[in-house]
């Protein structure tokens, strides 16, 4: 009798929580897909190859786990895939911003050199003018 009650209670607990976990796993896996796509759109494939590859592998594993009925594992893998995709996205954005900073620094150096050249020419012209006055 105790065994039957325990078994029914276990089925009830697993049965009640399973649809919620299943839905959460599906949503998380879909979010991971969207994040991977977004990461690729910002060029993460060029900058964060290992993170994108890890995200894709985990997404495949999450899909397999969902099909095999292991929704808890599917949820965990989907969440990890999502996080790896977000890391890849942020690395890609950071790399782009760093490149923009380097470009701005190079432009600033060119502008400073041009300013120095103009100041030198101005000094030359002043000296030439002063020498003509004497």
Residue 78 has pLDDT above 70, yes or no: yes
Residue 40 has pLDDT above 80, yes or no: yes
What's the pLDDT tens digit per position in 5-19?
443 444 444 444 567
Res 12: pLDDT: 42
Cα 78 to Cα 127: distance, rounded to the nearest angstrom = 73
What's the pLDDT tens digit per position in 79-134?
999 999 999 999 999 999 999 999 999 999 999 999 999 999 999 988 888 888 76
What DSSP line would sit under 95-125, residue for residue? HHHHHHHHHHHHHHHHHHHHHHHHHHHHHHH
Cα 15 to Cα 20: distance, rounded to the nearest angstrom = 10
The secondary element (H helix, E strand) that includes residue 47 is: helix 44-47
Res 18: pLDDT: 67
User: In the chain, what are the domain boundaries?
Assistant: 2-97
């Amino acid at each position: 009798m105790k065994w039957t009650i325990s078994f029914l209670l276990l089925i009830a607990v697993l049965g009640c929580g399973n649809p919620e976990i299943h839905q959460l796993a599906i949503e998380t896996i879909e979010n991971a897909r969207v994040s991977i796509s977004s990461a690729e759109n910002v060029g993460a494939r060029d900058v964060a190859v290992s993170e994108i590859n890890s995200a894709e592998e985990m997404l495949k594993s999450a899909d397999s786990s969902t099909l095999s009925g292991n929704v808890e594992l599917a949820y965990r893998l989907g969440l990890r895939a999502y996080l790896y995709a977000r890391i890849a996205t942020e690395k890609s954005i950071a790399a782009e911003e760093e490149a923009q900073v380097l470009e701005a620094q190079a432009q600033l150096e060119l502008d400073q050199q041009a300013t120095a050249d103009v100041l030198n020419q101005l000094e030359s012209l002043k000296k030439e003018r002063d020498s003509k006055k004497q």
